[in-house]
A and B are shown apart, each in its own frame.
Chain A
Amino acid sequence: MVLPKFEYKKARDVADAIALYKGQKGKAVYLAGGTDLIPLIKQRLSTPSVVIDLKGIEELKSITNKDGWLEIGANVTLFELKIYPWIRDNLPAFYESLEATACETLQLRGTIGGNILQDTRCLKHNQSLEWRTSRGFCLKSNGKECNVVKGSKVCFANYCSDNAPALVTLGAELKLEGPKGERVIELTTLFTGDSLKPFSIDAGEILTYIRIPAKKTKGAYEKLRVRESMDYPLVGVAVSSVGVAAKICVGGVGLQPRLYELEDAGIETAIREIADKASSDAKPVANAVVSPAYRKKMVGVLVKRAVKRAIGEGK
């Protein structure tokens, strides 16, 4: 399958990458592991004139743990994170989400930056140009309405990162660097709810580091999928807890993950309430391989399971 024409540039450092981007008037994209981007370009869902490769930027390949923060360079691969003992021992929700992502070969190539910034997905959108042309373009391809929910002017594509919900429960922040300088945002503010521009990242901005408070947590990540490898989540629920309080984040349904807070994860009724709320908030539609009613129900089931496992009661 041939790719459409584009130029390839390799950035030496972050400043170089931004400089390269500036020269391209918004027609450039950043490339890290490529496991999300290259399929998008193959299907003409992304049509850059220039691809700027960030993989050569050494400074973004580091993991440091100091001053109360675990700082992860965006170029670190999921596999490297998975075998980083401190993460396994202290951030179980994150660790389990890494283990649950795609398959091992893709974990070895895919980066944490790329995983967080992966595009939202839909069975009727992630298709070839010929397929979409024949079907009629949906909102996410700049069409007039959604192809899943007839007449809808709102997109229901799913944000399918396994890692981001886990990082949300851990209170992660993102360091961004762009043409206008550097800034730090909370991960929760990354998501816009806009299908055409799902992330609050400015043109040319690069996700450089992910910062996580370096605290020991209990946690779990529950993922619903048909196959036990390779598959994106149909529902993903991350839970991290410190003391009795727990943060719960639901991913895989809709444009952005949803965060819930539980004051005391030891109270059964509270768990049930929050599970019901999460299930009722979730608005899955028929854009994945199992039924929407089922996914909605599973949000609640997985929340309960993840909380119980996080606090050490589940299997």
Chain B
Amino acid sequence: MNNEFNIVGKRVVRSDSLAKVTGEARYTADLKFPNMLVAKVLRSPHPHAKILKIDCSKALKVPGVKAAVSGFDSYGVKWGVFRYTQDHAMLHTDKVRYIGEDVAAVAAVDEETALEALSLIKVDYEPLPAVFDPFESMKDGAPQIHSEYKNNVNIHIHIDVGEVDKAMEKAFLVREDTFKAAGEAYAMMEPYAVVALFKNGYLDLYMPNAGPHVRAKALSNMLKLPLNRVRIRHINSGGAFGGRSEVAPGDLVASLLAIKSGQPVKLVLTREENATASRQVHDIVATVKTGMKKDGTILAKDYKVVYDGGAYSSTGPIATSIPFYVYEECYRFPNVRYNGYRVFTNKGIRGMYGCHGRAFLAGNESQMDLMAKELGLDPVDVRLKNGLKPGEVTATKSKITSCGLKETILEASEKTNFRKKWAKPSKRKGIGMGCVAIMCGFPMGFRSGSSAYVKINDDGQVTLVTGLVDNGQGNESMVIQVASEVLGVPMEDINLVCADTEVTNLDPGAYSQAAAFVGANAVRVACENARKRIVAIAAEKLGIKETEVGLKDRAAHSIKHPDKKMPISWVVREAFFRGEPIVATGSFFPHIDFEREWVTRPWGQMAGTFSFGTSVAEIEIDQETGKIKMPKFTSAHDCGRPINPMAVEGQMEGSIQQAGVAALTEGNLWDKGHLLNPNLLEYKVPLACDMPEIDTIIVSSRDPAGPFGAKEGGLTIRMNAYSAVACALTNATGELFTELPLTPDKVLTVLERKKGVK
């Protein structure tokens, strides 16, 4: 199917992997600069307290300490993703709002000295009553965490389409269930780190991040430096999963310390700090009410979802909305009401996560299966019946263009013999299916698009410049592959400069699943513009029409007479002679409704396109211990067209681990404001031995606007794998889950509920 292309669609070795297998790839903590200092942060021991005084004077007297800062050394500018969520000053001077919050920091010649100095910073607190449960937090009289948010409700998303109450009355079958899920840890392998250098009034920063341009802007505001004086540089990132999209307190801390000391500063968080004080994932309680016709058609959905947001807004409105949207982009809801509340508590800050929303999504899907069973229907048919089709419009008015939902459902169910297995579950065994759609990018104002720049050098080699970011998923390699296809030069001839705010143009970054659809599209356009220039000269020199010129293997050739050819380097040199070197820019701006706003106007085109996916989990339950084994996991994903199928598979396989198997193992545990498992021992990231046999199916719907038809490469599985697991439990037991993760104790509770054991 990929014969039409030289390299797109091929299983190529990723461009970044050589440096990573040799240990030469540099991550932030690996960086060393002359006179570099080590920074350490003093953190709040209180979940909620007034700051009365911060005294760093003794710390500064320790030999080897070069700077100490607190919020009193910053401008106190509060940052927020939206104008109406600006509540995070990073280093606060009035209050602390969670255990582990950044309060002060030092920079010293080494870590031991920095730690000694930290112990000498004196902070006077006045402890305040704290609240840890979002339902308690919403009550009148609960401790007020931010004065500007009444009842600690950070965000309320209200969506109401059609006539939900009337439709519920008309429905043949109505069910209402409540589902809970513990928030997860991102647990990216690289703990957060920042290196800051301040020279000649310019600040250079390195850190693992998903969007350098947004971060530079935030820091320029907070440090009151012109934007061109804050430069985020490229560095490898050891995983992000949504948790490195926003400016972090460490960025401000390292910057202030570098400015104050005049020396380079490196801050590396410990695993515990990464778990408590970077970002966490929302705990969610979702109440799902569904009205269904006798034939399985969904008539109405009514939702109330409460998100425990922790202490600050973070991506508040987005996080409060996304689980709903990825579901309404998948199924047809003629009548739907969604009330999403993001509520502040005195816990760590919750951000967006690749697997965000598991209580809501797994709840919806497993409830649908139970209703199908009651109606004597098959879940495959119910999904096909309610699934959106190409050309349809979602409840909130997003038009679906390319759509392989049906194909993912059919291929996944046929490969697993789903219908037959589902119809005859045993007590021990179950099979379940989860579906979802993902927006490829979403409205981020003028940052929703991407621009790239390409120049062909005098040896015919290529320099490609783009703001695109790679957090490990292979985006860098992907755009090199795209450029290689368009320009007819091998991948190794292409040097990529990316994710550096000084030289690269705006790009959404590795955020909102826009890298392939938006970032790679801009690269494609830039390369096509360069290609036109090459073709024009080559046609002239070869004496053929421009339409007859092909580019392949570093040469321009006649398509009709392939022997008639010339090296691209000759074309480039000719262009230099003419004083018109081959350089080109290209941009891509997705078709999005920019009137859309998350809270005030939650309708209109969400994204340029959507991906679709289906996962099927097969489980075996130990009837005595409740332990679930997962022998087989099958996932089908419509990525439009895979640029590198091996990379797409890798995303799908990782998603099966991070969402599917994690549904059995992962969840943050709390003792009021103390995180009980801020480590990699008691926070259970699945291991190789816990993984099922995996079967990945790539569906190519050929998106009309995507680069070579491509859409995002695997996120649907991150948001449907847990649903498949929950549905498999329902298939085996006839019961719904009440809480994720499905650790054996929780599963045994479900089994006992079924048996009527109290």
On A, residues with C-beta under 8 Å from B are 1-2, 103, 123-124, 127-128, 130-131, 133-135, 147, 224, 226-232, 289-291, 293-295, 297-298, 301-302, 305
Whether B682 pairs with A131 at a CB distance below 8 angstroms is no
A301 in contact with B625 (CB, 8 Å): yes
Looking across the interface, which residue of chain A has its beta carbon closest to that of B44? A134
Whether A289 contacts B272 in the complex (CB less than 8 A), given A130-B45, A224-B625, comes out as no
Q: What CA separation (Å) do A152 and B681 show in the bound complex?
A: 27
Beta-carbon contact of A227 and B684 below 8 Å: yes
Q: Quick check: is B650 within 8 A (CB to CB) of the other chain? A: no
> 1/0 per residue B650-693: CB within 8 Å of A?
00000000000000110001010010111001101011111000
Given contacts A134-B99, A226-B664, A294-B744, 6 further A-B contacts (CB under 8 A): A103-B687, A147-B671, A227-B684, A231-B681, A232-B681, A290-B743
Is the beta-carbon distance between B684 and A131 smaller than 8 angstroms? no
CB neighbours of A229 from chain B (8 A)? 687-690
CA distance A226 to B628 in the complex (A): 10
Count of A-B contacts with CB under 8 A?
Answer: 76
Q: Does B270 contact A (CB under 8 A)?
A: yes
Q: Nearest Cβ in chain B — how far from A278, in angstroms?
A: 15
Whether B272 pairs with A131 at a CB distance below 8 angstroms is yes
5 cross-chain CB contacts under 8 A: A124-B674, A133-B45, A224-B627, A289-B684, A302-B625
Residues of B within 8 A of A293 (CB): 745
- Bound Cα distance from A274 to B467, whole angstroms: 66
Given contacts A1-B270, A123-B676, A131-B272, contact A227 B745 (CB under 8 A): no
User: Nearest Cβ distance between residue A7 and chain B, in whole angstroms?
Assistant: 15
Tell me, in angstroms, the Cα distance from A305 to B625 when the chains sit together.
Answer: 11
List residues of chain A with CB within 8 A of the CB of B46.
Answer: 134
A290 touches B745 (CB 8 A): yes
Q: Are A134 and B625 interface neighbours, CB within 8 A?
A: no
With A226-B743, A231-B684 known to touch, is A289 a contact of B677 (CB < 8 Å)?
A: yes
By a CB distance below 8 angstroms, the chain B residues around A231 are 681, 684
Q: Is the CB of B669 within 8 A of A227?
A: no
For the complex, give the distance between the alpha carbons of A93 and B748 in Å.
27
Q: Is B532 an interface residue (CB 8 A)?
A: no
Q: How far is the CB of A39 from chain B (nearest CB, A)?
A: 9
Q: Chain A contacts of B677 at CB under 8 A?
A: 123, 289
Could you tell me how many residues of chain B have their Cβ less than 8 Å away from some Cβ of chain A?
33
Which residues of B in the span 299-343 have a Cβ within 8 Å of any Cβ on A? none
Q: Which of A1, A227, A295, A298 contacts B686 (CB 8 A)?
A: A227
Mark contacts of B616-647 with chain A using CB atoms, 8 A cut-off: 1 yes-contact digit, 0 otherwise. 00000000111100000000000000000000
Main secondary structure of the interface of B (DSSP, over half): loop
* A291 touching B624 in the complex, CB below 8 Å, given contacts A135-B674, A228-B689, A229-B689: no
Q: Which of B43, B669, B674, B745 has the most CB of A within 10 A?
A: B745
- Which A residue sits closest to B674, measured CB to CB? A135
Decide if A226 touches B99 in the complex (CB within 8 Å): no
Alpha-carbon gap, A224 to B622, bound state (A): 12
Given A226-B743, A301-B625: A134 in contact with B687 (beta carbons within 8 A):
no
Contact at A228–B676, with CB atoms within 8 Å?
Answer: no
With A and B bound together, what is the CA distance between A230 and B684 in angstroms? 10
In the complex, B115 has a CB within 8 A of chain A:
yes
Give Cα A170 to B664, complex, Å. Answer: 35
Q: Quick one: given A131-B674, A133-B45, A301-B625, are A123 and B743 in contact (CB under 8 Å)?
A: no
Using Cβ atoms and an 8 Å threshold, which residues of chain A touch B115?
2
Instruction: Identify A226's interface contact among B43, B270, B665, B748, CB under 8 A.
Output: B665
Q: How far is the CA of A295 from the CA of B744 in the complex (A)?
A: 10
Q: Which of B45, B678, B744 contacts A290 (CB 8 A)?
A: B744
CB nearest to B741 among chain A residues: A226
| Distance of A135 Cα from B46 Cα, bound (Å) | 9
Q: Are A226 and B744 in contact (CB under 8 A)?
A: yes
* A1 nearest in chain B by CB position: B270
* Residues of chain B lying within 8 A (CB to CB) of residue A290: 743-745
Q: Across chains A and B, which 8 residue pairs bring their CB atoms closest together, nearest first?
A: A294-B745, A134-B45, A290-B745, A228-B689, A291-B745, A301-B624, A2-B111, A123-B676
Per-position binary interface string of chain B over residues 715-748, scored 1 when its CB falls under 8 Å from any chain A CB and 0 otherwise = 0000000000000000000000000000111001
Q: Is the CB of A289 within 8 A of B669?
A: yes
Instruction: Given A2-B111, A301-B624, decide whether A124 and B744 contact each other with a Cβ distance below 8 A.
Output: no
**Residue in A1, A2, A298 whose beta carbon sits within 8 Å of that of B625 in the complex:** A298
Evaluate contact between A230 and B682: CB separation under 8 angstroms: no
A305 (CB) vs chain B CBs: closest residue: B624
B414 at the interface (CB under 8 A from A): no
Contact of A123 with B669 in the complex, beta carbons under 8 Å: yes
Among B669, B674, B688, B744, point to the contact of A134 (Cβ < 8 A): B674
B94 in contact (CB, < 8 A) = no
Per the bound structure, the CA–CA distance linking A69 and B456 in Å amounts to 77
Beta-carbon nearest neighbor of B747 in chain A: A294
Query: With a CB–CB cut-off of 8 A, which chain A residues contact B743?
Result: 226, 289-290
Q: Is B112 part of the binding interface, using a Cβ–Cβ cutoff of 8 Å? A: yes
Query: What distance in Å separates the Cβ of A131 from its nearest Cβ neighbour in chain B?
Result: 7
Question: Which residue on chain A has the smallest CB distance to residue B276?
Answer: A131
B274 to chain A, nearest CB (A): 12
A131 contacts which chain B residues (CB < 8 A)? 272, 674, 678
Give complex CA distance A228, B629 in Å: 10
A135-B671, A298-B625 known; A230-B45 Cβ under 8 A? no
Residues in A neighbouring B669, C-beta threshold 8 A? 123, 289
A75 to B272, CA, bound (A): 32
Chain A residues closer than 8 Å to B111, beta-carbon distance? 2
Docked complex Cα distance between A294 and B627 (Å): 12
Assess whether B687 is in contact with A228, with CB atoms less than 8 Å apart. Answer: yes
- Complex contacts, B272 vs chain A, CB 8 Å: 128, 130-131
In the complex formed, the residue of B with least CB distance to A132 is B674
What B residues does A294 contact at CB under 8 A?
626, 744-745, 748
Decide: B45 and A2 in contact? CB cutoff 8 A. no
Q: CB distance B687 to A230 under 8 Å?
A: yes
**Distance of A131 Cα from B100 Cα, bound (Å):** 9
